[in-house]
Structure 1
Amino acid sequence: MTVKEQNSIGAPGMQAPDVEVYDFRRPRTLPREHSRALELVFETFARQWGTQLTARVRVLSSVTCEQVLMQTYDEYAASLPSTTAMVLFSLEGLTPRAVIQFPTAAALAWVGHMLGGTAGGRPVEERKFTQIEQALLRQLMTEALEDLKYSLGSLITAAMTVDTIQYNSQFAQAAATGDLMIVSKFNIRVGEITSLATVAIPAVAIMPQLGEANPTSNTADAQELVLAQVSAVPVTVALRLVPAQVLPQRILTMTLGDLIPIPHPQHRPLDIVVDDHVLARAAMGANGSRLACIIIESEEKRP
């Protein structure tokens, strides 16, 4: 029985809810491991971007990362104001483009500071940028792009360049409507002006480098995998003489200069011990100016 049939039987006259088809081959949520890795990346970018804005606009600025999620481009564009600044970035070898979005009013206030003005907290009119303003913002975005590439590190392999600046979120076709995007939302504070910004990067440019969220191994090779892992674990190796048995009274009466005889024959090799297990025997030697041991007998038992 379908959802519409159930609704029509149980509640006559009620409109059936919209049902969205979910494609399990293209999940729209980030696994926890990927989400945490991307949060660290965008938090690093936020710090870099805030430092860059402070240096450029000569006003104390800060940027904080609020959220990282995966959306289709259609969902991302629908969440933006109809009029806003969208800087599109081309990715070498890929058709979808990345986006840095921020309010035009906030950008105009940044430019005003760069030119020596003071916004004074007054709202700035929303409008398109002049050629001079666009040139200054392109330079600002080029530096932000360098910070973004630095923060992403090995997570992105495609070269990124500033493409165009759009002013309408519905007309700026950075990607196909169904293309998945990694979207990060930021809170930007420049002086007394606070604004919201977003960064959207095509998932196809990042996800392959993140790898599988829950990688599995073939259990048929379990023994080889365990041996490989154990062989890479560092252990402490010690050379040990034959232990001497001493009465507690002798220990309690020890003073400086007392001698304790060691019942280790001079001709007998020393034991090589790992975690109180004797693995081999060795004779004393030298390696340059340092003491060394030469293994002359092994007691290691392999399965």
Structure 2
Amino acid sequence: MTLLDQTAPGALRDAQAQPKSVDVYDFRRPTTLAREHSRVLELAFDTFARQWGTQLTAKVRVLSQVTCETVSMTTYDEFAASLPATTAMVLCPLEGASAKAVIQFPSASALGWVTHMLGGNPAGQSLPERKFTPVEQALVRRLMDDALEDLRYSLGSLLVAPISVGGFQYNSQFAQAASKSDLMIVASFEIRVGEAAAPATLALPAEVLLPQLGESNPTSTTVGARDLIDQQLAAVPVDVALGFLPARVLPSDVLDLKVGDLVALPHPEHRPLDVTVGGEPVGRAAVGANGSRLAGIIVTTEERLA
């Protein structure tokens, strides 16, 4: 006996009655990075992380390490929504671009860096998330100037627009670094200064970097495709072999073979050897010599239909 689920039709009707959510996707502005682009950017930001960690160690005078964790592309609205409500944001204008780059990190962590720079030890202290004083801001600005120098070195030809440190913001929802729909390349980092670790992000306008990355899937014209294939195949190395006619023997004969046994071949003495490529016969050749080496002298070739 089969029991029918009487609630299934009703559940199906309820599911059909619910309004469906449709997201509009603009194919002219994809929100995901191509694999080739992502790999190039990951290598560049890994280099930036190492350089940034070295600079922090020199300026803060405490062993520091910066690790790049993820690289993605998202809209500025989504990027800002992912940040804490209160945090330190350094807005960095780029020449020729309306959107600004953003370096974000907890202000409490930056206060710990400043404490180290001034000879103190913030270990065990609970530092608040607050705005920087003029002195603190000047010291953090010096750290950011060094970070941007490392960024220009690490990105190389990917970052052609001059970039500089601009203003500071402490509310992620009020910072107007770009329009909500502007695409940003966002790299997330972990900054470890001494025993203290803090998350950080770097957001760069996609319009500044993507033109230097080129097309993700470049295509070639199909004109002369047959000639190109022929040229490529002609340059591929293949194994050529000279072979005798095969001999048919019993499995017992093979199992009883030992050193010194003779295997009779049905190949006539005056018949040329078969010339094969990948096991396929392409002609015949007589045994000859080339200096001190054995060689095959081609005597016939087999016609092949193209």
| TM-score scaled by length of structure 2 | 0.70
- Equivalent position SS for 2:54: helix
Write out aligned runs for 1:20-169 (5 A): 20-169=23-172
Amino acid at match of 1:75: E
Aligned-pair CA distance for 1:222: 3.6
Aligned counterparts of 2:46 and 2:85: Cα–Cα separation in 1? 27
Letter in 2 for 1:49: W
- Cross-structure match for 2:259: none
The AA in structure 1 aligned to 2:178 is A
Q: Distance in 2 between matches of 1:245 and 1:171?
A: 84
SS of match in other structure, 1:184: strand
Deviation at 1:24, TM superposition (A): 1.2
Deviation at 1:14, TM superposition (A): 6.7
- Which consecutive residues of structure 2, in runs of 5 or more, have no partner in the other structure? 1-9, 234-288, 295-306
| Structure 2: distance between partners of 1:73 and 1:130 | 28
The one-letter code sitting in structure 2 at the alignment partner of 1:200 is A
Query: Quick check: 1:244 aligned with 2:247?
Result: no
Could you tell me how far apart the structure 2 residues matched to 1:174 and 1:188 are? 23
Tell me which residue corresponds to 1:299.
none
Contact in 2 for aligned 1:88/1:164 (Cα 8 Å)? yes
Q: CA separation of 1:12/1:30 partners in 2, compared to 1, >3 Å: closer, same or farther?
A: closer
Secondary structure in 2 matching 1:163: coil
Measured in 2, the distance between the counterparts of 1:244 and 1:12 equals 84
Per-residue deviation, residues 39-90 of structure 1 (Å, max 9, x unmatched): 1011000000111111111111111011000000000000000110000111
Q: Say which SS state the counterpart of residue 11 (structure 1) adopts.
A: helix
User: Equivalent residues in 2 for 1:188-203 (5 A)?
Assistant: 188-203=191-206
1:8, 1:14 within 8 Å by CA — same for their partners in 2? Answer: no
Please name the residue that 1:270 is paired with: none
- Provide the C-alpha distance between the structure 1 equivalents of 2:94 and 2:152, rounded to a whole number of angstroms: 12
Q: Secondary structure at the match of 1:199?
A: strand
1:152-301 equivalences in 2 (<5 Å): 152-222=155-225, 243-245=290-292
Equivalent AA in structure 1 for residue 21 of structure 2 = D
1:227 and 1:121 mapped to 2: Cα distance?
A: 72
Larger Rg belongs to: 2
CA RMSD of superposed structures (Å): 2.9
5+ residue gaps, structure 1: 1-6, 231-241, 248-303
CA distance in 1, matches of 2:41, 2:232: 28
Q: Distance in 2 between matches of 1:154 and 1:184?
A: 18
C-alpha distance after superposition, 1:105-148 (max 9, x if no partner): 00000000000000114321111000000001111100000001
| Corresponding residue SS for 2:65 | strand
Instruction: Report how far residue 229 of structure 1 moved.
Output: 8.6
Q: 2-side partners of 1:8 and 1:116: how far apart?
A: 67
TM-score by length of 1: 0.71
226 and 13 in structure 1: CA distance in 2 versus 1, 3 angstrom threshold: closer
Decide whether aligned partners of structure 1 residues 204 and 246 sit closer, same or farther in structure 2, where only a CA change above 3 A counts.
Answer: closer
Report the residue type matching 2:68 in the other structure: C
* Matched AA of 1:45: F
Q: CA deviation at 1:12?
A: 6.8
Flag the 1:22–1:245 CA change in 2: closer, same or farther, 3 A: closer
